[in-house]
Chain A
Amino acid sequence: MLETSKETGRALSPAKGPNKFMKFLNSRSVAPYVFISPFIISFLVLSFYPTIRAIIMSFQSILPGQIEFIGMSNYSRISNPTFYKALSNTTIYVILTVVILVVVPIILSVLLDSKFVKFKTIFRASLFVPALASTIVAGMVFRLMFGETDTAAANQILNWLGLQSVEWRYNAWSGMFLMVLLACWKWMGVNILYFLAALQNVPKELYEAAEIDGATMFKKFLFVTLPFLKPVTIFVVTISIINGFRMFEESFVFWEAGSPGNIGLTVVGYIYQQGIQQNDMGFGAAIGVVLMLIIFVVSFIQLILTGAFKKGDE
């Protein structure tokens, strides 16, 4: 009520011009555009312009005060052992995190949803806590637990089991292990919540019907539960692939600027190294464009294989 009187008061007092303008702004065909104008501006300045700019930059050699077009030579430089190392590291990381972060959360969420488990709320909450920590802080803790010395937690366990200590940050396999472990630890709880939410949508009657037909627990899981989890699985796989290719912090926190033999180098890490540290922005932009294409192609293939596009026809 109050705002009504204020509005009319404001509309009456100034001259005719502003009044008309206010009316124009307030019309129902204009107001929506005023509302979305922040998005339009931010899209143009912070998404559209940089995308175009990234593509242009990828054909340029950019030195302070001296920018020239050099055709495809940034792209031909990408074909080098370091990039392939970064790409293979990233790809292995994506595959491992996708598999682990889909399979384990499905199993855990089905168990958590079953009548066998009490204290569901506490379990769910504690599994979620790792998602709250920053990767830097969490990585620092992992680094101290997986230290090189015999006194660090991970090596202590190995020694108790009668195994040799491992220099975790200096082997290719253990370096990958650390990065994958950190990511899985951090995102497990979030993915469990996704699957738990989807499980609430499975009609209980289906389980009862399956029980009457004499289905075992495993069969119920396979033929009743899993089909209902398909949409959320596609979703989780898609975001895991995209986030996997974007990975940077999990590597940075273990090796900062550079890892021995590039065992921890990722594609985004390579962009950072070349574009920012070496100040070779044209080359960095070219790697970025290649990364974008890779992500689009992989996501697209994944969506076709999982039949995500078919749903529209049904």
Chain B
Amino acid sequence: MKKNTNRNPVLRWIANISFTIICLIALFPILSLLLSSFRPSSELMRNGISLVFDPSTLNLDNYTYIFTQAEQYWGWYGNSLVITAVTIVLSLFFSSMVGYALAVYDFRGRNFFFLLVLFILMVPFEILMLPLYQLMISLQLINTYTAVVLPMVVAPIAVFFFRQYAIGLPKELMDAARIDGSTEYGIFFKIMLPLMAPSLAAMAILQGLGAWNNFLWPLLVLRSNDMFTLPIGLATLLTPYGNNYDVLIAGSVMTIIPVIILFIFFQRFFVAGLTVGGVKG
């Protein structure tokens, strides 16, 4: 080890500088979005994002507009917040129950159900979307929050993750609780679920980010502007003729910033959530 550090100071410089450049490239689109949000939107629409521009054109107009006049944008924001919150609560509740049972109980059909979870993980949602869309029409759920949230309520990836996590829980606690007279459900909610907190945090982030950024399914089932979520609403502004670039730019910044702030505080859980497929089986 010593040999390397002495021999290769140049290599170290090269490696560190190249990584700095790579990271700047990775962050560039987000930084340029942030910077562009302070530029006149008409110019952005005409010229795109330029590398050089007149710094004296920087102003707060886009934000003034969005905070005072873009009521429709805040409607989308509210829809996205509600849908994300409901998705997180329901999918965590149901998926953790299922994953937990698959991990701690020995019951007939356990392996079958677990294989079923893995199988659904493999089937792309896009293939089921037309029949599901039809189902939503016949249940008269089109253009409701319910239609958006329903397919996400029991997430196979979360079930899988919770199962892997719950396998490692101390089962002696369950027996102890039974002797104390606790019910099976009491054991889960009062003893085991709190122990699963780190996995709940990771899945809250995975499911929350998924719901916040979800596009194709809400695009199918949401019809009216007042029901749109942020990605759908912002996409409607993405027309070459649009004169709403102020809302589009400043609005985009405000969909990303909360997520990045959360990421800075809960990095560990974000990483665990987004790389969940990598857990060992």
Contacts and interface: CB of A to CB of B under 8 A. Distances in A.
A156 B131 contact: no
Interface string A25-41: 01011011111101110
A272 interface: yes
Given A47-B128, A153-B50, A35 B278 contact: no
A31 B110 CA distance: 13
A97 to B, nearest CB: 15
B185 A31 contact: yes
A149 B46 contact: yes
B48 A142 contact: no
B50 A35 contact: no
A256 B238 contact: yes
A102 interface: no
A151 B212 contact: no
B4 interface: yes
A291 B127 CA distance: 8
A126 B26 contact: yes
A136 B235 contact: yes
A152 B49 contact: yes
Nearest to B101: A35
B271 interface: yes
Given A4-B182, A7-B181, A53-B131, A295 B124 contact: yes
Interface stretch (B57-65, B66-74, B146-154): B146-154
Interface in B228-275: 230-231, 234-235, 238-239, 248, 252, 255-256, 259-260, 263, 267, 270-271, 274-275
B220 A276 contact: yes
A111 interface: yes
A29 B107 contact: yes
Given A127-B26, A268-B126, A253 B238 contact: yes
A213 B202 CA distance: 43
Nearest to B134: A281
Given A36-B101, A130-B30, A256 B49 contact: no
B159 interface: yes
Nearest to B238: A140
A108 B22 contact: yes
Contacts of B12: 116-118
A188 B274 contact: no
A43 B120 contact: yes
Contacts, number: 283
Given A39-B98, A39-B154, A135-B215, A147 B48 contact: yes
A169 B32 CA distance: 20
A151 B50 contact: yes
Contacts of A36: 97-98, 101-102, 113
Interface in A118-162: 118-119, 122-123, 125-138, 140-149, 151-153, 156-157
Interface string A286-298: 0011011001100
Interface in B175-202: 180-186, 188, 190
B113 to A, nearest CB: 6
Nearest to B110: A32
A292 B124 contact: yes
Given A57-B130, A153-B48, A242-B124, A235 B278 contact: yes
Contacts of B36: 141, 144
Interface stretch (A68-76, A79-87, A189-197): A189-197
Nearest to B124: A246
Most chain B beta-carbon neighbours within 10 Å: one of A32, A114, A117, A197 = A32
Most chain A beta-carbon neighbours within 10 Å: one of B19, B190, B215, B234 = B19
Contacts of A138: 29
A235 B277 contact: yes
B9 to A, nearest CB: 10
A291 B12 CA distance: 47
Given A117-B16, A133-B30, A147-B48, A288 B100 contact: no
B89 interface: no
Contact of B105 (A32, A54, A272, A296): A32
A170 interface: no
A51 interface: yes
Given A53-B131, A54-B131, A288-B129, 10 more contacts: A4-B180, A39-B117, A117-B19, A123-B22, A130-B30, A137-B234, A144-B48, A156-B51, A276-B133, A288-B130
Interface of A: 1, 3-4, 7-8, 26, 28-29, 31-36, 38-40, 42-43, 45-47, 49-51, 53-54, 57, 108, 111-112, 114-119, 122-123, 125-138, 140-149, 151-153, 156-157, 185, 188-190, 193-194, 197-198, 232, 235, 239, 242, 245-246, 248-249, 252-253, 256, 268, 271-272, 275-276, 281, 284-285, 288-289, 291-292, 295-296, 299
